[in-house]
Amino acid sequence: MSITPPKAGWYNEPVDKVELLWVGIALVWALIMFAMMPLWHLKGTQNMSNEAYRIHPEAFQAKVDEMVEKYKVGEEGKVQTPVVRPPAGSDVYLLARLWEWYPVLELEQGKSYRLHLSSLDWQHGFSVQPANINLQVHPGIDEVVTITPTTSGDFGIICNEYCGIGHHTMLGKIRVVAAK
Ligand code: CUA
């Protein structure tokens, strides 16, 4: 038994009205969504504007270490992750690696910071909870986003890009403190 071929000329039939209508609706909707992209960005403050640069993982680690050394104010957690309080308005660095976010950043409410994100090994997902900010973090790329924390408190960082056996343990923290 075999599948019988369709009769000759099967592809040459006029397009049904209903099909044309649906193609038309889909096209109009796609154009509306296309126009919404810049509007969501400009009016809805969605999709953060960001910059990205190439950087060697070792060079990024050196910047993180320098910041930690200068501005460390404590340690916390099982592995004694340094807590760092860099000056308000400065460039701050957060690195991702198997399986941690390093260090804990302490930021001042209402001040803007240039947050640099990069990975030392694989791709990770920077997800701030419960603010629902999501960015991908890549090795070799220094991604810079300008952030202005508006609410004080502890914000959890989880990794939302599967990165191996310890993925679910890859937790970090940003602490926002009220301005003095
Ligand atoms: Cu890092 Cu998942």
pLDDT tens digits for range 93-125: 999 999 999 999 999 999 999 999 999 999 999
Work out which ligand 1 atom sits closest to the CA atom of 161.
2
Residue 156 within any structural domain of the chain: yes
As given in the structure block, the two tokens for residue 143 are 């991604």
Question: pLDDT digit string (tens) for 166-179?
Answer: 999 999 999 999 87
The reported pLDDT for the residue numbered 1 is 61
Distance 117 CA to ligand 1 centre (A): 14
Residue 85 within any structural domain of the chain: yes
Distance 94 CA to ligand 1 centre (A): 14
> 16 with 55, same domain?
no
How long is the chain?
180
Distance 108 CA to ligand 1 centre (A): 27
Domains: count for the chain:
2
> 82 with 151, same domain?
yes
Q: Which residue segment(s) compose the domain that 19 sits in?
A: 10-43
Work out which ligand 1 atom sits closest to the CA atom of 167.
2
pLDDT exceeds cutoff 90 at 34: yes
Distance 164 CA to ligand 1 centre (A): 7
With CA atoms as reference, report the closest residue to 174 among 107, 113, 117.
107
- Contact in structure between 177 and 106 (CB atoms under 8 Å): yes
Residue 71 within any structural domain of the chain: yes
Report residue 14's pLDDT band, with 50, 70 and 90 as the boundaries. confident
Ligand 1 binding pocket (C-beta < 6 A) is: 99, 124, 159, 161-163, 167, 170
| CATH code of the domain covering residue 77 | 2.60.40.420
Question: pLDDT digit string (tens) for 66-90?
Answer: 999 999 999 988 888 999 999 988 9
Work out which ligand 1 atom sits closest to the CA atom of 163.
2
Residue 4 within any structural domain of the chain: no
> 25 with 65, same domain?
no
> 144 with 166, same domain?
yes
Q: Mean pLDDT, to the nearest integer, of 28-56? A: 88
Return the higher-pLDDT residue of 147 and 24: 24
Residue nearest to atom 1 of ligand 1 (CA): 124
Distance 95 CA to ligand 1 centre (A): 12
> 74 with 17, same domain?
no
> 122 with 60, same domain?
yes
- Contact in structure between 105 and 125 (CB atoms under 8 Å): no
The reported pLDDT for the residue numbered 101 is 95
> 89 with 166, same domain?
yes
Instruction: Indicate the pTM of the whole model.
Output: 0.77
- Contact in structure between 45 and 133 (CB atoms under 8 Å): no
> 61 with 100, same domain?
yes
Residue 3 within any structural domain of the chain: no
Residue 26 within any structural domain of the chain: yes
Sign of CA dihedral 163, 65, 140, 56: negative
Report the alpha-carbon distance of residue 19 to residue 63 in Å, rounded. Answer: 58
> 98 with 144, same domain?
yes
The reported pLDDT for the residue numbered 82 is 92
Residue 1 within any structural domain of the chain: no
> 20 with 81, same domain?
no
> 22 with 93, same domain?
no
> 60 with 111, same domain?
yes
Distance 12 CA to ligand 1 centre (A): 51
